[in-house]
Amino acid sequence: MRRSSTLIRALWAAGAFASPACADQPVTESAFFADVPVVLSASRLSQPVADAPAAVTVITQAEIQASGFRDIPDLLRLVPGFSVADSGLNTWAVGYHGFADAFSRRYQVLVDGRSIYSSNFGEVNWNDLPLSIEDIDRIEVVRGPNAAAYGSNAFFAVINIITKSAGQTPGFYSSVQYGTHGMGGVMLRQGGSLGPALYRITVSAQKRQRLNSVGYDNSGKPVYPDETTKTYFTNGRLDWQVNNTDDVMAQFGLTTGNWTFSPSGYSSPENVYAGFLQLKYHRILSTDDEWYVQFYYTRDRFDTALAFPPFGLPVYILQSRTNLDAQMSHRLSPTLRAVWGAEVRQETDSSPAYFSTASTFSGVLTRGYLNLEWRPAERWVLQGEAMVEHHYFTGTDVSPRVAANYTFAPGQTLRFAVSVADRTPTFHEENNYYISSNNGQPVLNIPNPRLKPERLLSREIGYVAQFPQVGLDMDARMFYDTFHNYIAALDVPLPAPMSFPGLGAVTQGGQYQNTGTIDIHGAELEAHWRPHADVDVWATAARVFAYPDAQVNAADPDVAVSAPRTTGSLLASYRFGNGWQASVGTYFNGTMKWLSDGDWTKSYTRVDARLARRFRWAGHDAEAALVAQSLTGSYSEFRREYVFGGRYYGSLSVHW
């Protein structure tokens, strides 16, 4: 509580007492407002953040660079209310207001409009994503449910990663990283033209040992919980401006990886293959009138040599997604704008060991949405939107939202919003009633009874403000969410013991079931302060409380403590001149309990630092940087024995 309150008081003090007299080169009002972001992810309409119907955090290229992070999930530490950890299973545990395990599945993640969450467990396979951090233009994070715009899985938040267009990446660019704990990487990118079209192509090779060793194997070799031994990917993009109104975008990506993970102290190899193809045709008739049609296909396969394949079935996951969607936005009158669209998607999933069958599961979902933005008066923006979705497991659901934004003073806006979101069960939840041996290893899987979708009713009051006189903008939010039909994995005794070779009598099983209700409430604050042209300070703070009812507590008592009471971050950057830049990031996460395979983890404060210099080398732009992570010492992530310790890396990039 003390840390959060101190941070909030410091931010208010900065806004109240900073003045141009305090800075040698104050930021002008026009320059400050030129930096106010326009966001796309909240309502699918282009809007200033003050007009958006939900709270939106924009992670800019400046923040990405200053943080020194090389893995995309780490960047979510810059968003209020998020907790991030390496799960030790070659996945990332990412939670917003808690409820996170190794397969966090209650938020939607998009890359250029392409959904990348897994249809099997619902997680995001961050490690096999064929995307270099240098190719990201910005990340928009909608904090709060946004199913009215993006359907199921946009439950707690939407993370929309927007990459650079081919026109933003001309010439040749190379980046090399090398550091402690087995870190190494190289990235090469070429941008140019093919007749009337622009292109970029990126290739990358990466190696990671994100966590400290947990011991040694029989040969004396260190065993790491999560070792991305080798990951290679290539990504390409083509942008073609057909004429004054029409453009075409095409993207592809391929990833292959040879990884290991050690869930029980032994090393198990894991081979990964992933790819996607995306095509988009876009027509812009005017500022407020445009439409597009988009198609994409994704495919992921994970092969793992686990020590307990049930009944000799191979342990792999093969999943694919085929998606076609279209959207149109139009100004209906001087005060009324609308955006509407439709989408059809087929998802397939095959996993013999997890589902105890070689059959492939498949389902088709369809959805349609409409959003209206009305300005009845100069100070008011009213918005109403709804998504109608038919899912292959749960049938038809409707997710509405209404919001009212009132600008009561120049640069200061209040937002009032109520929304409803659904999360449909994954293939794993719907089809994986499992019978386990007495040590917890699954040996037989049969279908669950039909599950209801989880449902979230969210109410919020937001405050968005810009104070150009002191170079400060801020976004505060209070929320009260009610979470219904929470899906929990329950231990279920078998009616009679079952016998399996090598396991003896088995008496228990597990089953996913809908349980009860959880109330979640709290407050968030984020701020960007630029007191001087060479200084940037980004800060966040969040305070969250979760109150499960008796039914949820009986099914999963860890839910109440899965959300850390307090999280926060403070990232400061200073440009010295002559190409030098230094930044320091501080990240605080309170005590919490990660769900399922996770443990209690103590609160920690992590401090990272980066020192970089840009210079000319043989007539080319270059940058050298040194990054130190966790200068405050080691801390546990996800499990007590999974320790992230201090580490260092250097990087060199050249652009010509």
Q: Is it the case that residue 383 has pLDDT exceeding 50?
A: yes
User: Are the CB atoms for 120 and 172 separated by under 8 Å?
Assistant: no
Q: Is 243 exposed, middle or buried (0-12, 13-18, 19+ CB in 10 A)?
A: exposed
| Residue in the block written with tokens 């990232």 | 571
What is the pLDDT at residue 353?
Answer: 72
- CA 412 remoteness from chain centre: 28
Question: How many Cα atoms are found within 13 Å in the side-chain-facing hemisphere of 354?
Answer: 21
Tell which wins on pLDDT, 513 or 270.
513
**Residue 395 parent element (H or E):** strand 395-409
Q: Kindly report the backbone phi and psi dihedral angles of residue 429, in degrees, each rounded to the nearest multiple of 5, phi listed first.
A: -70, -40
Q: Residue 576 is encoded by which pair of tokens?
A: 């010295």
Alpha carbon separation from 278 to 127, 251, 293, 401, 517 (Å, rounded): 20, 5, 11, 29, 39
Q: Token digits for 3? A: 């840390």
pLDDT digit string (tens) for 68-78?
A: 999 999 999 99
d(CA 455, CA 424): 9
Report DSSP state, residue 516.
Answer: -
| pLDDT for 17 | 31
Residue 356 has pLDDT above 90, yes or no: no
Cα first-last separation, the chain: 49
- What DSSP string runs through 308-329? --GGG---EEEEEEEEEEEEEE
Instruction: Give the number of other Cβ atoms within 10 Å of residue 636's Cβ.
Output: 17
d(CA 494, CA 510): 9
pLDDT score, position 59: 97
| 112-121, 504-513, 568-577: segment of lowest average pLDDT | 504-513
> Residue 455: pLDDT above 90?
yes
Count CB neighbours of 245 within 10 A.
12
Q: Half-sphere exposure of residue 169, counting CA atoms within 13 Å on the CB side?
A: 25
Task: Give, in degrees to the nearest 5, the angle at Cα 286 between 283 and 291.
Answer: 30
DSSP 538-567: EEEEEEEEEEE-HHHHHH-TTGGGSS-SEE
What pLDDT, on a 0 to 100 scale, did the predictor assign at position 209?
A: 82
Backbone φ, ψ for residue 226 (5° rounding): -150, 100
Helix H or strand E encompassing 528? strand 518-532
Handedness of CA 152, 153, 158, 161 (dihedral sign): negative
Q: What pLDDT, on a 0 to 100 scale, did the predictor assign at position 188? A: 97
The angle at the Cα of 333, spanning 328 to 336, to the nearest 5 degrees, equals 70
Least confident of 28-37, 145-154, 429-438, 639-648: 28-37
pLDDT of residue 132: 94
**pLDDT above 70 (res 102):** yes
State phi, psi for 21 to the nearest 5 degrees.
-65, -20
pLDDT of residue 627: 98
pLDDT tens string 212-253: 877 776 777 777 776 666 899 999 999 999 999 999 999 999
Q: Has residue 29 got a pLDDT over 50?
A: no
Whether residue 11 has pLDDT greater than 90: no
CA distances from 111 to 282, 370, 411, 483 (A): 17, 22, 31, 27
129-160 pLDDT, tens digit per residue, is 999 999 999 999 999 999 999 998 899 999 99
**Cα distance between residue 228 and residue 274, in whole Å:** 15
Percentage of the chain modeled with pLDDT above 90:
67
**CA pair distance 308, 322, nearest whole angstrom:** 32
Predicted pLDDT of residue 237: 97
Task: Answer with the residue of higher pLDDT: 430 or 111.
Answer: 111
Of 27, 31, 48, 30, which is closest to residue 39 (Cα–Cα)?
Answer: 48
Among 302-311, 423-432, 628-637, top mean pLDDT goes to 628-637
Nearest Cα residue to 97 out of 526, 635, 592: 592
As a whole number of angstroms, the distance between CA 160 and CA 394 comes to 26
Mean pLDDT (the chain, rounded): 87
Residue 631: CA atoms inside 13 Å, Cβ hemisphere, count? Answer: 11
Model pLDDT, residue 68:
96
Q: Which residue has the higher pLDDT, 495 or 407?
A: 407
Task: Please report, rounded to a whole number, the percentage of residues in the chain having pLDDT higher than 70.
Answer: 85
Q: According to the model, what pLDDT value does residue 131 have?
A: 94
Q: Write down the pLDDT at residue 28.
A: 37
In this predicted structure, what is the pLDDT of residue 609? Answer: 98
Overall fold of domain 2-175+235-542: Maltoporin; Chain A (2.40.170)
Residue of 541, 608, 479, 491 whose CA lies nearest to 71: 608
State the average pLDDT over residues 602-613. 97
Distance CA 99, CA 157 (A): 12
- pLDDT of 90 reads 76
CB 315 within 8 A of CB 306: yes
Q: What pLDDT was estimated at residue 446?
A: 54
| pLDDT average, residue stretch 619-640 | 94
Say which residues have a Cβ less than 8 Å from residue 366's Cβ, sequence separation at least 6: 342, 343, 344, 345, 389, 390
Q: Which residues have C-beta within 8 Å of that of residue 220, sequence separation ≥ 6?
A: none
Residue 515 pLDDT > 50, yes or no?
A: yes
Q: For residues 651-656, give the mean pLDDT.
A: 95
Sheet with 107-111, edge to edge strand ranges: 55-59, 136-143, 157-163, 107-111, 114-115
**Does residue 603 contact residue 583 with C-beta atoms inside 8 Å?**
no
- The pLDDT tens digits for 533-565 are 999 999 999 999 999 999 999 989 999 999 999
* pLDDT confidence band for 269 (50 / 70 / 90): confident
Does pLDDT of 2 surpass 70? no
Instruction: Tell me the domain boundaries of the chain.
Output: 2-175+235-542
Spatial separation of the C-alpha atoms in residues 399 and 422, rounded to whole Å: 7
- Site of tokens 């449910």: 145
Q: Is the dihedral of CA 351, 355, 359, 361 positive or negative?
A: negative
Nearest to 427 by CA among 365, 505, 485, 373: 365
pTM of the predicted model as reported, rounded to 2 decimal places: 0.90
Provide the token pair at 297: 């296909």
